[in-house]
Amino acid sequence: MGLAKSELFTDQQNQIAVFGKVFGHPARVAILQHLFKIDACVCGDLVNELGLAQPTISQHLKELRNLGLIKGDVDGTKVCYCINPERWTNMKRIMTDFLNQDFNSKMDCC
Amino acid sequence: MGLAKSELFTDQQNQIAVFGKVFGHPARVAILQHLFKIDACVCGDLVNELGLAQPTISQHLKELRNLGLIKGDVDGTKVCYCINPERWTNMKRIMTDFLNQDFNSKMDCC
DNA sequence: AATATTAATCGTAATATTGCAATAAATTAA
DNA sequence: TTAATTTATTGCAATATTACGATTAATATT
């Protein structure tokens, strides 16, 4: 029905899914990579970086901000965005734990 | 329009988004964790593990298989699923490169 | 105050995703 | 062959996501 039955799963599983979802659009990946690349706050020029309209970028930024992965501070008529290091580290630990699960040779049984 | 404009982004960004998307549902996360946990192929009993209907699980398995993260081999009337180690390692490198981007103190400028 | 600049929000259309009942397909067992 | 078992597919309804034009809100500039 278009709605994930999140009550069936653990908090950890739901958390991983929420992070997965936010990385599940290339525009949000590009925004995050850009923030890392300039290694500072970007004030304003995010719309020119990507080929999407201003309301679309604004919406993607909102999702990243809702998850806490970026911070946005008002600076006059502009808003300065940057990575939230604490939250990024926190997210990275959760995702890395999931990605680093180990398998052994028995996996090849079929 | 519900359709991501993937032509605007790099192959790497689109690849990350595709992996993000597949991890963006807790059922798929749970399936993968179960396959790691039992550390072998699971033949049949995936539907009983999760609280979702058989066609729903089948659909999630198909998406994981389409991305190559799991393998499914027919064994009589059952199908045995397991992690595809090569593809998992490949995916892990791509995602880890993305997650391990580094930030410095300037990030806190705002 | 009037205008310009910038970002957020609203409204809407197009498409995607999720979930499952019903059914089909494939193999096994009797 | 017939029935049972298991998984995949189809079709559909409900909801979510993506994108953007139009508008609003907020500050800055003149």
Question: How high is the pLDDT of residue B45?
Answer: 83
Which run of H or of E encompasses B27? Answer: helix B26-38
> What pTM was estimated for this model as a whole?
0.93
B101 lies in some domain = no
B26 lies in some domain = yes
Question: How high is the pLDDT of residue B104?
Answer: 62
Each of the 110 residues of chain A gets a pLDDT tens digit; together they read 778 888 899 999 999 999 999 999 999 999 999 999 987 778 788 999 999 999 999 999 999 999 999 999 998 999 999 999 999 999 999 999 999 998 665 555 55
Strands A42-43 and A78-83, how do they pair? antiparallel
Rounded distance between C-alpha atoms, residue A102 and residue A105, angstroms: 10
Q: Print the domain residue range for A29.
A: 11-97
Q: Which residues of A71-83 are buried (b: 16+ CB within 10 A; e: fewer)?
A: bbeeeeeebbbbb
Q: Which of residues 12-31 of A touch B (CB under 8 A)?
A: 13-14, 16-30
Residue B25, SS3 per DSSP: coil
- pLDDT tens for B12-68 read 999 999 999 999 999 999 999 999 998 777 877 889 989 999 999 999 999 999 999
Name residue A102's amino acid.
D
Torsions phi, psi for A104 (to 5 deg): -125, -170
How many domains, chain A?
A: 1
Which run of H or of E encompasses B50? Answer: none
B40 lies in some domain = yes
A18 lies in some domain = yes
Question: How high is the pLDDT of residue A108?
Answer: 57
- pLDDT tens for B68-104 read 999 998 988 999 999 999 999 999 999 999 999 986 6
A63 lies in some domain = yes
A102 lies in some domain = no
DSSP output for B1-15: -----GGGS-HHHHH
Question: How high is the pLDDT of residue B102?
Answer: 80
B2 lies in some domain = no
> Around Cβ B95, how many Cβ atoms within 10 Å?
21
CB of A3 lies under 7 Å from some atom of strand C: yes
Which run of H or of E encompasses A42? Answer: strand A42-43
Q: Which of residues 32-61 of A touch B (CB under 8 A)?
A: 32-33, 36, 39-41, 50-52
CATH number of the structural domain spanning residue B85:
1.10.10.10
Q: What region does B104 belong to: left with phi over 0, alpha with psi -120 to 50, or beta?
A: beta
Q: Which residue in B has a C-alpha nearest to residue A15's C-alpha?
A: B26
B14 lies in some domain = no
